[in-house]
Amino acid sequence: MASDQIESVIKKIIRQIGRECAARGQTLSETLVAFMVKAVVLDPRNDFNVDRILTKKDVQNLTQLCVTRLLDTTNPSLSTIKMQVYFDMNYANRAELLREQHCVLEGRLAPVVRDITDSRPRVQEEMKNVYQKIVSYVLLSSGLGSPTDMEVVREVTAALQSVFPQTEMITFISLSKKNKEQQLKNLAMLVTGIRLYNKECGKGGRGIDDLPAILNEAIPSATESVDEGLNTCHTLAHQYTALLESMQEDLHRYTQLSSFKLREALFNVRQYEAFLCILLSDAITSAQEVEKMNVQFAATMEQLKNTVQNKVSIDTREVFPLFVALSNLWTSFQDEILLLSFLTNMTNNLQQFLEIQSQLFPEEVLTLLLEGVTVKSDEERIRETMGTRVNVSDFKNQEWLFPETTDNFDQLLIQYHGFCAHAIGVKGLTLPGNPAIGILKHKERCYVFSSREAAYIFAQDPDKFIQLNVEKAKEHAELIQLLELRHQFEYLAPYAQARNADKCLMKPTTKCDSSTQTDTHILPPTIVTSYEWNEWELRRKAIKLANLRRKLTHAMQTDLSHMRRENSTQVYLPKDVSTQTKRDNSSNVPRPQIFLEGLRGGSSPTTHMVKVDLTRAVDET
């Protein structure tokens, strides 16, 4: 099938699955359904191969499997996939979120800006209306107070008149549209800075919240909430890991716990933990930025107070930059409020995907299962292996990295999200890797391990265990994002390819480098070189042509020049010759240092002079 036909069939399948789930009371997004289709197709136990034409039975089978998994609300795997889809669709880093927010603000202010820049007032009343619109723009763009609060409007108007009186409206109207927009932004920053200064002096500031105080109180609260979620995740992950290890060691325990979906629950907790770590990192970054901005804001405000003091007239070149600096810092405070609100909402919304843990493993059930089981935390596992290290001499063709021999060791990009590369495919566990044991660099990728023994086993045949990890990710599709394996699944063949080399599930995307070039001037030049704009030059050419009408050309040939041949000679050009003289050399002689003592005389009537020669010898220089 052609790629367009395959894409069309997949879209139909996705829509069909969505309709069936909706008919059973579950409204799901197309992104989630598409992810589930991919998960079902990748699972080698389902034996799908889309390289062949899908029959009606294949489509029905695929649809049924996807619907069954999407409606199984007791499966932690589905909650993990929903969590991943939600995070991918809603999370944005600081730069992206602020850029989007600024674009939204500019879009909301665009009609007001357009109304101001396109207006052409002629009478005084129209001038006054445009000025009021400028006041509204300044108030809306700053976000300091409500436009319906008349006291706030009067305060903004007074601040604007101090830097932009209505008498300057004529000059403003004469500007180009681009210059008008730039001046509006400058006026908004100046007015914001003036209002912040007045609030600090106790002369205004109505509708301006104390953002630094709000942030200083809200950031620790948000960080504490994320920390509580992380502690819960760590506890559950450690307990699930201990139960899974006990299943592998004791057959009786395996029979007892096989009905529980411990492995899927572990992956769910680990994914929740990874997302909370991202949010916690953003919260810490926000706290650091707020701390720096508090210092800068206080310093700028103090400098402005010292500049203004009680002066009647002040040079605008001194205070205007300070007002703009205050405005920019306050905008940064507003951005941090937005970021903090976003992080808080993300943290609260992620909690719904962890609720399945309490449904599958109530506290009393989990306590009963953990009887006689030793639970180790990730930190304890790492401490147990701190004294062990890989012996590099045991491996001839493997490259191992250690802290003392590798620059930027802590910044290396570790595969599988820092989990042990051996335990994932062999045991199906996400054990924390210990870089102190040694980081294996294989095919430009770095791998860590939970123990020295695991490192030795993996290093014997890394490709084999990497493939085992890939197969494990095919069985549990949530591992693709948890272990950061998306780049591998763009070029991976399915499980069915091992049995049939002629067919594959996912072919590598064909790519090629191409370039195009266009002519600088597509049409031939139309410049008339004989064109003259100067009428005196045209007059001169006309006179010249008129004179040529009365001119005759005469030619004659003498007997001496008849049939004379041309002679030529050839000479050898002189060649350039150069010589080199002897080289220049120089030497350094000591500087004479001679001192005379006693020239000023003394107590005796006669003068006794002493000559002291401190000049160094030639061989000492």
- Reported as a single tens digit per residue, the pLDDT across 132-166 is 999 999 999 988 888 888 998 999 999 899 889 98
Tell whether 241 and 266 lie within a shared domain.
Answer: yes
Tell whether 345 and 451 lie within a shared domain.
Answer: no
- The rounded distance, in Å, linking the Cα atoms of 621 and 619 is 6
Tell whether 325 and 366 lie within a shared domain.
Answer: yes
Domain annotation covers residue 574: no
For the chain, give the percent of residues with pLDDT over 90.
35
The count of C-alpha atoms lying within 13 angstroms of the C-alpha of 493, restricted to the half-sphere facing its C-beta, is 11
Query: Nearest CA to 222 among 276, 296, 142?
Result: 276
Tell whether 387 and 366 lie within a shared domain.
Answer: no
Tell whether 263 and 360 lie within a shared domain.
Answer: yes
Domain annotation covers residue 268: yes
At 458-472, the pLDDT tens digits run: 999 999 999 999 888
DSSP bridge pairs for 441 = 399, 446
Strands (E), 329-481: 399-401, 439-442, 445-447
Which residues have C-beta within 8 Å of that of residue 131, sequence separation ≥ 6?
Answer: 166, 169
Give me the domain span that covers residue 152: 119-201
Which residues have C-beta within 8 Å of that of residue 382, sequence separation ≥ 6?
Answer: 432, 434, 436
Instruction: Tell me which of 351-365, 484-498, 537-551 is least confident.
Output: 484-498
| Final residue in a domain of this structure, among 177, 201, 225 | 201
Tally of structural domains, the chain: 4
Q: With 50 as the cut, is the pLDDT of residue 39 above it?
A: yes
Tell whether 297 and 398 lie within a shared domain.
Answer: no
End-to-end CA distance of the chain: 90
Tell whether 392 and 349 lie within a shared domain.
Answer: no
Domain annotation covers residue 318: yes
Question: Mean of the pLDDT values across residues 388-402?
Answer: 88
Biggest alpha carbon–alpha carbon distance for the chain: 134
H/E stretch holding 612: strand 610-613
Query: Nearest CA to 206 among 160, 152, 260?
Result: 152
What's the pLDDT score for residue 598?
A: 78
Tell whether 232 and 360 lie within a shared domain.
Answer: yes
Dig out the tokens for 133 from the structure. 């619109």
H/E stretch holding 338: helix 316-350
Question: Mean of the pLDDT values across residues 520-538?
Answer: 82
Which of 39-53, 116-130, 270-284, 522-536 ranks highest by mean pLDDT?
270-284
Tell whether 276 and 363 lie within a shared domain.
Answer: yes
Band (559; pLDDT cuts 50, 70, 90) = low
Q: With 70 as the cut, is the pLDDT of residue 497 above it?
A: no
H/E stretch holding 595: strand 594-597
Tell whether 221 and 318 lie within a shared domain.
Answer: yes
Question: Mean of the pLDDT values across residues 180-185?
Answer: 92
Band (556; pLDDT cuts 50, 70, 90) = low
Query: Nearest CA to 38 among 482, 480, 511?
Result: 480
At 185-244, the pLDDT tens digits run: 999 999 999 999 888 888 877 888 889 999 999 999 999 999 999 999 999 999 999 988
What's the pLDDT score for residue 562?
A: 59
Tell whether 382 and 361 lie within a shared domain.
Answer: no
Domain annotation covers residue 619: no
